[in-house]
């Protein structure tokens, strides 16, 4: 039984940890020094691909490296790689398919958690610049009312000129 439960546990923990890491990377890296790539994701898309898709290649490479390490060095790393792939499929389906309609069909959820994810990400894209955005997670998102209030507060800070940095300790270079 442990032979089945441990891999399932590793995969589940990896999916949750990846969401937490992705939200941090999105906020700090993509809306920071990596904005040059990520900016394309906040602009109208021209064609099937955008520069932001390069981040997916980095994460896919990390997963492939973990598959290799898991097969040759330590087998638990193989299950971590599976967890990264599971997260990648969730991201592809929810973020690229449901939210950004990068598939040939469109569906806008009318209720439930998928609607909350959809609305949260739309609020994230309500800001075209790298600063003042909300909802950096892709799968676990705060309530929409809280995000709307945070977005209004960020806009007031920028409109008042009372702060150029919506997040403390964040340089604007």
* Each residue's pLDDT tens digit, 75-126: 999 999 999 999 999 999 999 998 998 888 788 999 999 999 999 999 999 9
Find the domain containing 65 and state its range.
2-42+52-160
For the chain, the three-class secondary structure string (H helix, E strand, C coil) is CHHHHHHHHHHHHHHHHHHHHHHHHHHHHHCCCCHHHHHHHHCCCCCCCCHHHHHHHHHHHHHHHHHHHHHHCCHHHHHHHHHHHHHHHHHHHHHHHHHCCCCCCCCCCCCHHHHHHHHHHHHHCCCCCCCCCCCCCCCCCCCHHHHHHHHHHHHHHHHHCCCCCCCCCCCCC
Contacts of 148 (CB under 8 A, 6+ apart): 123
Look at residue 169 and tell me if it is in a domain. Answer: no
Chain Cα centroid distance, residue 122: 13
**Whether the predicted model's global pTM rises above the 0.75 cut:** yes
**74-86 pLDDT, tens digit each:** 899 999 999 999 9
Number of domains into which the chain is organized = 1
Sign of CA dihedral 14, 19, 22, 24: negative
Look at residue 171 and tell me if it is in a domain. Answer: no
Decide if pLDDT at 135 tops 80: yes
Asked if 81 and 67 count as a contact pair (C-beta separation under 8 A), the reply is yes
Look at residue 82 and tell me if it is in a domain. Answer: yes
Look at residue 167 and tell me if it is in a domain. Answer: no
Look at residue 32 and tell me if it is in a domain. Answer: yes
Decide if pLDDT at 29 tops 60: yes
């Amino acid at each position: 039984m442990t032979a089945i439960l441990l891999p399932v546990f590793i995969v589940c923990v990896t999916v949750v940890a990846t969401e937490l890491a992705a939200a941090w990377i999105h906020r700090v890296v993509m809306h920071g020094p990596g904005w040059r790539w990520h900016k394309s994701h906040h602009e109208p898309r021209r064609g099937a691909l955008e520069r932001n898709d390069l981040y997916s290649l980095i994460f896919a490479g990390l997963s492939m490296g973990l598959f290799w390490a898991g097969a040759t060095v330590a087998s638990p790393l193989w299950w971590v790689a599976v967890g990264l792939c599971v997260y990648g499929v969730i991201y592809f389906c929810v973020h690229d398919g449901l939210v950004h309609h990068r598939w040939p069909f469109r569906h806008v959820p009318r209720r439930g958690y998928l609607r909350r994810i959809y609305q949260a990400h739309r609020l994230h894209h309500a800001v075209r610049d790298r600063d003042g955005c909300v909802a950096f997670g892709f799968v676990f998102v705060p309530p929409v009312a809280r995000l709307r209030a945070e977005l209004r507060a960020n806009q007031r800070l920028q409109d008042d000129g009372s702060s150029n940095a919506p997040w403390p300790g964040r340089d604007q270079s």
